Structure 1
Amino acid sequence: MTTAAVSSKKASDTTGVGALLREWRVRRRVSQLDLALRAESSARHISFIETGRARPSQEMVLRLAEHLDVPVRERNALLIAAGYAPGFPETPLDDPSMDALRSGLERLLTGYEPFPALVVDATYHVVAANRGIQAMLAGVDAKLLEPPLNAMRVTLHPDGMAPRIRNFREWREHLLTQMQRQLAVLRSAPLRAVYEEVSAYPLPEGGRETAAGGEHAPYALPMLLEHDGRVLSFISTIATFNTPTDVTVSELALETFLPADPETAGHLRTWLP
């Protein structure tokens, strides 16, 4: 075998589907034997796939990806690396085929008013929001509100919501930890770029820090936000789509902010009837 052939074989071993599957298996902390049992295969066959000695079928690639909980976008990358066509479309949200989905999301957002709710993509860009979100955006620098609006940037930037979040240090740690957990199980350069940007923001000057305990909800960390001369308390919840077969849909998340006390609920009902 020539030197060029050997180099080509080594490159294939490190960039082909086998290396990618091994990377996902290691990320998920699953042994070859455990993966083989889940996928109704053998540890020997999994080893051959990972080292490039065996080429998996399209069905096997998808089966292993399913058992490794590989994101839909990355399943396409695995298929391409194995020599197959992508199996999952990436349809723009404004495509006519997405009309039913958009209408459903709009009904959910509107139905949640007057409480804040928004839909974000995989890098926290806001793709839809209800009127309640205006309570959070009051006082945010206009430059941060220019498209594409990014929820993490608006929340953590010193010219964004940060100066009005009474428990900012706690809330900042919560958001950054959330992103770190995502990055630990995802291969997303765009998300990492957002994380590196927002984690480098300086803390707002002269901010007041209020502990999120005591009289506040004991079951989850609230975000304490100054608005209209009072402090509102919110609990955040996030919902995603089950069994998505489209990349765009798989990366959407609906975030709603539940009032954590009667005063917050009452104020928002009055402020946005």
Structure 2
Amino acid sequence: MQILIAGASGFLGRRLVSHLRDAGHDVTPLVRRPPRPGEVRWDPTSGVLDATVVAAADAVINLAGAGVADKRWTSQYKQVLLDSRVDTTRTIARAIAAAPDKPRVLLNSSAVGYYGDTGDHAVDETAPAGEGFLADVCKVWEAATGPAEDAGTRVVLLRTGFPLDKDGGLLKPLYLQFRLFAGGPMGSGRQYLPWISLPDWLDAVGFLLERDVSGPVNLTGPEPVTNAEFSAALGRVLHRPSLLPVPGFALRAAVGEFGGEALASQRVLPGVLVREGFTFAHQTVEEALQQAVSSITQ
């Protein structure tokens, strides 16, 4: 399969490119700098992407977007978070609509932030959008795929939870914290955390490339756990205590508005993946954590 991918240099993008190439696909990254051989330049800020390049692809994957936790949420950075997602998605969707031959599928990144704070209530893809900044971003982000869907391309919205890997995402800072005997839950610890193992995330993306599925798909593990349960599992895997909680007020003081979003409870279930027969390699958070840190502890 000929695949165009945006966001190929990010935490998930780098691993997905390798995963897809190992599976035999021909992967072409979209880049904003001068391209190297095998890459294509684009400018999503200006809405520039050659439709003939898109026409040559069987599939397009868009993972582009500024890091949610990279900086404090000033009003300026919140605009960056929104624009970096909507501009890229809109540019790709419009290029697909303009292409003489349409890619069969667009897999477009989104997030479980769409659901807002669900408390103890379990939700799947049929649940409505929640409230809060991230939920609002997800709604506009997903809507930007409209031109591609209207043009007849199958569109899948990848509502990703927290992929677990030692080198990035949620686990990277927690690993050091726990190794220093300073690990523990955030806030009350009762809020749900929608994890997924990185191998399962990669396999799910490959699965959705081939499967006749469209619309939102939750990329989360089959058994969401509370933050306290996650911390206890990580402590067991690393043979460290998990007794030092991070109070909610301290988190909000340290990182501002993002701290409030980080304390949200999201009990999100992978309803579509389960219905479509996807097989999870890691059914529990402890299995996922063991896999994620195994290369460190070997």
Q: TM-score range by the shorter chain?
A: under 0.3
Q: Which has the higher strand share?
A: 2
Looking at CA atoms only, which structure, 1 or 2, has the larger radius of gyration? Answer: 1
Q: Which has the higher helix share?
A: 1
Structure 1-normalised TM-score? Answer: 0.23
